[in-house]
Structure 1
């Protein structure tokens, strides 16, 4: 059994980071999720939040990569929400 690959979401907006271990190396998808959320949060995208998540996630061919993207995307959004409350 393989140990998997760990991805790291750095702490942001005063909210702690996160480490997740995946069964395959999905670091690129995970980091794309972080960056997509940051683009939306920083006003560089004009569409709805759900659209930013779904359209970019669905472009990924592998289910594990899509999950990694989702986890990173939503975790970065949560960091921002928690950091402003």
Structure 2
């Protein structure tokens, strides 16, 4: 299955192929990053990543969440340079 991170803040998106359908976890990673960027979660980036990621049971879902979360943060950082 393929997941898509939409372009954001002028930074390109990306597509990633996974061995299973992990789109829900991937999209939750995007939303979690956006909540952190908007100041609606812990001020600590590591806490926003770890606590929400660890709620997922399957390793592939946790990896998809991480990739989406970090990619959205990178888009924001790169887009603001």
Q: TM-score, normalised by structure 1?
A: 0.93
Gaps in structure 1 of 5+ consecutive residues: none
From 15, 38, 45, the equivalent of 1:19 is 15
Q: How far apart, CA to CA, are the structure 2 residues paired with 1:46 and 1:59?
A: 16
| Alignment map for 1:1-80 (pairs within 5 Å) | 5-80=1-76
* TM-fit CA distance, 1:47: 3.1
Q: TM-score, normalised by structure 2?
A: 0.98
Deviation string for 1:5-42 (max 9, x for gaps)? 00000000100001000000000000000000000001
Which protein shows a greater Rg?
1
Q: Segments of 4+ in structure 1 off by > 2 A?
A: none
